[in-house]
Amino acid sequence: MVLEFTDGNIKEAIESGKPVVVDFWAEWCGPCRLIGPIIEELAEEYAGKVEIGKMNVDENVDTPNEYGIRNIPTVLFFKDGEVVDKQVGASQKAVFKTKIDALL
């Protein structure tokens, strides 16, 4: 299940010790809609191993500003509370899987 991250709950997830993947998106963003189903599939495949969720940049501005999100979709990959990788723009599922596998 894809988590719904907000400015209020993301810190807890990042600091949980588990790997975390955050998709920064917006409803009006075409490429965001393209990777949405991929993010959902990955959340199912990595359930229990990686926290995978989405953050709407129109509803949450503090976290995107903190991490310098300037283009969407941007997917950040966290390990041990730190950003260790990122993917800007739409990409294939295999690219995301490779980056997630590197977190494990």
Q: Identify whether 62 is a catalytic site residue.
A: no
The strands making up 82-88's β-sheet, listed across from edge to edge, are: 3-4, 51-56, 20-25, 74-79, 82-88
User: Which is catalytic among the residues 14, 20, 29, 43?
Assistant: 29
- The phi, psi pair for 61, rounded to 5°, reads -105, -25
Catalytic residue of the set 10, 21, 22, 32? 32
Which residues pair with residue 25 across a beta bridge? 56
85 among known catalytic residues: no
Query: Could you list the active site residues?
Result: 29, 32
